[in-house]
Every structure is written in C-alpha cells, then in structure tokens.
Amino acid sequence: MDKYIIYTFTYILFSNLADTLGSILATSNTPSFAFNPATMQTGVTYYIAAIAGNNLNGNVDLNDPCLHISNAIPVTWQSLPTVTFSAANPEVCAGACTTVTANFMGTAPFTLTYTTPAGTAMQTFSGNTGTFQVCTAAGASPGSFSVEATALTDSFCTCD
C-alpha cells in the first residue's frame, strides 16, 4: 500500500533573515499582509516568503525535515504623509495676501491639494517645506483665515 503525504502551503511575514521561523509575525493564505502597529513599525524592512511542508492540523509543520522556504521578498511600510501650516501674519486685511508655510512629514516630492478663502488649489513641493500665497477677497472681513489640506501625496503614499 502506498503512503501519501499531504503537504500544505502558506505565506509568512517575518522580521529576521537569519531566524526566519523564529521571527514569524503573521501567516496568510495569500501573499497579502496588513500593517499591524502592535507588532510592526513603519520604515522597518520585513520579509514575505512562502513555506511548504507536511500538514499539521491545517498548518505547515515547522518541524518537517523537508520544510521548504522560498526566497524572501523585502517589504517596508511607510508612514502616511502629513502637513501642517503656519503663517507669519495670520491676520490679513480685506483684499490682501500673506505667505503660508507648509511643513511636510514623509518623503518628497509632495503634491498638496488645499482650500483657502480664494478656493481650491493644487501644488507640488520638492522638499519638506514650501510656501504659497493666500489672498482674501476684496470684500472680506479683516482677520484670520483658514487653510485646509484636502489631499496629500508623497513619493510613497496618498492620503485623502
């Protein structure tokens, strides 16, 4: 009588190339993993590999002497980009303009879509700091104004 061995296959996300099986953070039936802030950090390189081996209660038996691990693929989760605004003079007279400074966190270039009293604008910034003019309408009341980011993209991520 022939003996059949049933093998199973799964994907692993792990953190240490020198200790693949000892540094497994997650397993999946697909090569897709969600970022888990409880066990992962942004900006850190992790690895995804496929493993195959004997079936042990529906999982790959990590002690299988014939266990096979594929080549690892590095993956790094990036932080979402952010922006803050400041103005040297936030009190603007009717019909006047002031310079707004945008300070970005993330990886340049940044594409920012924002709204001001004059409407919506989109601008690309090559560094982590940039400026733009905000003008008020001729009949507007003097005082402070608002600037709101409505979309932000850096070289890795898009936020809406």
Model confidence pLDDT, tens digit, residues 37-94 = 999 999 999 999 999 999 888 889 999 998 999 999 999 998 889 999 999 887 888 7
Half-sphere exposure for 84 (CA within 13 Å, toward CB): 3
Where along the chain do its domains lie? Answer: 7-76, 82-159
Tell me the per-residue pLDDT of 101-153, one tens digit each, with 9 for 90 and over.
999 999 999 999 999 888 899 999 999 999 999 888 777 777 777 899 999 99
Domain 82-159 classification at class level: mainly beta
Assign 2 a pLDDT band (cuts: 50, 70, 90): low
The model's pTM: 0.68
CA 131 to chain centre: 24
Exposed/middle/buried for residue 63 (C-beta within 10 Å: 0-12, 13-18, 19+): exposed
